[in-house]
Amino acid sequence: MYLDENHAWVEALASAYLFQSLEEASAVAAKVNEPAQVIGIELVGVALQATQTVARHYREAIRANGPGEYVFPSLTGEADVSVQ
């Protein structure tokens, strides 16, 4: 989950608010860190590519985009049987 400009939680990195300073980000993080609801808050380094917000570190990219696409042969009908 990411914080948007209204300090609401959103699922897409593209909707996240981009803080311009570490001080501002830390202050807001402390303010919204409600222990009854929030497990933990981390600051994420991002970059702007054209109009897209992208994570700088691959961990955050995976967190934002989810795990890879995995194939189940029985679901796709691509039975994978013989290797000779």
Where along the sequence are the contacts to another protein (CB under 8 A)?
35-40, 56-59, 62-63, 66-68, 70-75, 77-84
List strand residue ranges (DSSP E) for the chain, in order: 2-3, 9-10, 46-49, 52-55
- Cβ nearer to another protein, comparing 20 with 35: 35
Contact between 19 and 29 under an 8 Å Cβ cutoff? The reply is no
CB of 56 vs another protein, minimal distance in Å: 7
CB of 36 to another protein, least distance (A): 3
* Nearer CB in complex with another protein: 23/79: 79
C-alpha 41/C-alpha 7 separation (Å) is 13
